[in-house]
Amino acid sequence: MRWPIVPIALNALVIASTTYAMLSHQYRSTSNLTQGINSFFSDIDSSYSVATSIPVTQLFKTAVLMLVLEYAVILMTYAGIRIMGDTSVTFSALHQEIGQKLTALLAPNLMALVSVLIGLNAFAIFLLTVAMLFILVLPAARLAVASNHRKLDRTWMWGLTTLLAGVAIAVIILILIIGGAAETIGSLF
């Protein structure tokens, strides 16, 4: 594969599109309910309207955040391989390897997008959960087959590097969640 960023970026875009479609469907349903309640109880101001869509910029923000998460996984995997002392694996080779693995993940992600578009949200959530778990387990799976060149036992090194990668990825996810929540709260005022 010559351009490993393509499947990585496509995965991020498809996951963001699926999430955006789900959220906009839920938002439309909620705003229709709100408009119905307002029209039922409000005879004074009938010109009040509720926005019926989520801005398209949210789609691109979500895609960028997903891309950041995927590259955090790649960087943590690379750091774990380096901690184990394996200098034979270059970043570009690992980038290509994970890009190839994420190419196979495009099929269930596209199935999730189609499921949302036809109204099968529960199935789409299941597929997205499987996809996210696959992405988050990549460091542990790749580190399990990495060469250990340290004096510490291979199993202990795998556990240590997987733990470090997991903690770093969890911190990045928390930063992304807190940043998104802060942005959402900030947009209310």
- Kindly report, residue by residue over 1-18, the tens digit of the pLDDT: 678 889 999 999 999 999
Out of 55-64, 99-108, 149-158, 163-172, give the one with best mean pLDDT: 99-108
- Write b or e for each residue in 116-154: b if 16 or more Cβ atoms lie within 10 A of its Cβ, otherwise e: beeeebeebbebbeebeebbbebbbebbeebebeeeeee
One DSSP character per residue, 44-109 reads S-TT-----S--THHHHHHHHHHHHHHHHHHHHHHHHHHHTT--S--HHHHHHHHHHHHHHHHHHH
pLDDT at residue number 121: 86
Mean pLDDT, range 62-70, rounded to an integer:
87
Residue 36 has pLDDT above 90, yes or no: no
pLDDT of residue 12: 92
